[in-house]
Amino acid sequence: MAVKLANLQILWGVAGAREKFEDMVSQLIHVERPDSQRIRIVKGDGGLDSFEGELGDPDGIEVFQIKYFPGKIDDAQKGQIRDSFATVRDSNKFKVKSWTLCLPVDMSLEETEWFEGWKAKQADSGIEIRQPWGALHIETLLLQEKNRTCREAFFREENTVLLREQVGILNELKQQGDRNLKVRVNPVWNRRKLQAQIQLFNNGKGAIYITSWWIQWGPEGKKGARRAGDTIGGTLPVRLEEHEAADLLIHVNCDVEDLSGIGVFDGDQHLWLATDENMVIFKHDAIVHRLPGTDEPAEEPSAEGLKMDVKARATRPSGLDHDLLEFVIKNENARPVSVHNVRLGWTYTPPRQKPQFPGKPSVAEAGGNVGLLRQGTTNQLAPGEQVVFVLEKEMSMFLVEVARGDVLDEDIVLEFGTDEKCSWKATMDEIPSVVRGVANSVVESMRR
């Protein structure tokens, strides 16, 4: 079952989730710091949740402050954070060497800016305020084998059916209630090639993080579908705050008559589709404005003899605590070549089995993939020209899956498309080693 701290409220209720989160984080701290102790919460506990060290140590103790704030960090939550720190700072019972805040969510950009600003103002206290433990850090710890007992205790397997049903209901309520992403699509012809402009507008409450686009064809998508993160125009992933808009431009690699849906996925894996009425108008306008003779097969350059050079490399930008993965694709042909749909993929050996339930088919996860972002303004490469595609830092966390021990070197591939050839796969020896190096770098950064 997926380990998501947001599911604690579904499994244990709102009140129970707070207690379970505090218990769970205390256990994780103890595994990471075997000498740590937890304070039983009573009036006048001195602001301690968990700490490492001796209270009488003149060098001070290392304090972990656990705050169950499952939503936004508003003024009330900021006040609690300030008060908790002030309590341990001003204590006459012990000295504090370091202070770490533990939260069930990752701070937004605005919240991070506030925290860093407040942290800077505490420099005179002599206490080291460390990077908070957020959802990503805590969930990563829970997935480690050494924390399996803790994970199973708080995310019980027998609750998976109930959890999935309730998550499904909650997702529907989110779409119908507070969250509301408007999706509108318009056809764009570039000579004989059909493209889709996807217009997005966040008309609900709270930010929505868009990770990829989706296109499906055939009746209710039964013929096929495609999910990707590469775009002709616009950038993915993108975070839309309330009442913010964004435009994307994508390739439509299927017959317009077969199209049945276009939309986007958000960070909660919810699919937002254009309305049926919008799709009818999209298909009508695309057919009406199609160039005469487009129904006839277009004469495309042959892919025979086409040669592309691919190199993988790791970079470490200033201020980042882990490597970034980059691929350099060079056109070694005498004619221009367009490169698009660049993705890193991998296969699990054996496939990762999902929990099985009576009367239900068995399900296994065969592998994964993640899209890379083009550095530059065009996909078309002149002869001898090269382009760099990078796995952005927000997407680098997906490389953790490659480091779990069930992905073989030969099953790590770079996939991309060109106008002449639908799909290329690059599998040279250097790719797995570079990918694994970056994956290990990401894992180490998460452990810190």
Task: Give residue-wise pLDDT tens across range 103-131.
Answer: 999 999 999 999 999 999 999 999 999 99
Ramachandran area for residue 38 (φ above 0: left; ψ -120 to 50: alpha; else beta): beta
Residue 57 is assigned to a structural domain of this protein: yes
In this structure, what DSSP letter does residue 47 have?
T
Distance from C-alpha of 254 to C-alpha of 225, rounded to nearest angstrom: 10
Distance from C-alpha of 246 to C-alpha of 231, rounded to nearest angstrom: 13
The more confidently predicted of residues 252 and 394 is 252
Exposure string of 214-242, with b = 16+ CB inside 10 Å and e = fewer, is bbbbeeeeeeeebbbbbbbebebbbbbee
Residue 293 is assigned to a structural domain of this protein: no
Domain termination site, one of 257, 288, 319: 288
pLDDT at 448 over 90: no
165 and 17 in a common domain: yes
Classified as helix, coil or strand, 308 is strand
Domain termination site, one of 114, 143, 170: 170
Looking at 70-79, 176-185, 211-220, which range is the least confident one?
A: 211-220
Distance from C-alpha of 291 to C-alpha of 286, rounded to nearest angstrom: 10
How many other CB atoms are there within 10 angstroms of residue 271's CB atom? Answer: 16
Yes or no: say if 81 and 47 are a contact pair by the CB < 8 Å rule: no
pLDDT at 298 over 60: no
* Dihedral sign for Cα atoms in the order 258, 262, 267, 269: negative
Confidence at 156, pLDDT banded by 50, 70, 90: low
Both structure tokens of 126 = 């002599």
151 and 65 in a common domain: yes
Alpha-helical segments (H) within 144-272 = 148-154, 160-176
Both structure tokens of 298 = 């277009």
What pLDDT is stored for residue 275 in this prediction? 93
341 and 280 in a common domain: no
147 and 10 in a common domain: yes
Residue 333 is assigned to a structural domain of this protein: yes
- Taking the mean position of all CA atoms in its chain, how far away is CA 289? 38
| Cis ω before 70 (30° cut-off from 0) | no
| Cis ω before 132 (30° cut-off from 0) | no
Confidence at 44, pLDDT banded by 50, 70, 90: very low
Look at residues 287, 325, 347 and name the one whose alpha carbon lies nearest to residue 433. 325
160 and 11 in a common domain: yes
The more confidently predicted of residues 228 and 272 is 272
- Give me the mean pLDDT over the 342-362 stretch: 78
Look at residues 194, 223, 216 and name the one whose alpha carbon lies nearest to residue 285. 194
pLDDT at 300 over 80: no
Q: 209 lies in which domain range?
A: 179-288
The more confidently predicted of residues 377 and 50 is 50
Distance from C-alpha of 120 to C-alpha of 102, rounded to nearest angstrom: 19
- CB contact set of 397 (below 8 Å; sequence gap of 6+): 136, 442, 446
Both structure tokens of 174 = 């989110």
Domain termination site, one of 153, 170, 187: 170
* Dihedral sign for Cα atoms in the order 413, 414, 415, 420: negative
Distance from C-alpha of 87 to C-alpha of 46, rounded to nearest angstrom: 6
Residue type, 195: Q
Domain holding 193: CATH number?
2.60.40
95 and 51 in a common domain: yes
- Paired with 344 in beta bridges are 370, 414
How confident is the prediction for the chain on average, in pLDDT? 81
How many other CB atoms are there within 10 angstroms of residue 141's CB atom? Answer: 23
Confidence at 221, pLDDT banded by 50, 70, 90: very low
* Dihedral sign for Cα atoms in the order 241, 242, 247, 251: positive
What pLDDT is stored for residue 159 in this prediction? 54
pLDDT at 350 over 60: yes
Residue whose tokens read 């008559």: 257
pLDDT at 251 over 60: yes
Distance from C-alpha of 323 to C-alpha of 370, rounded to nearest angstrom: 16
158 and 93 in a common domain: yes
183 and 166 in a common domain: no
Backbone angles phi, psi at 165, to 5 degrees: -60, -45
Classified as helix, coil or strand, 284 is helix
Highest mean pLDDT, choosing among 42-56, 140-154, 212-226, 280-294 = 140-154
193 and 100 in a common domain: no
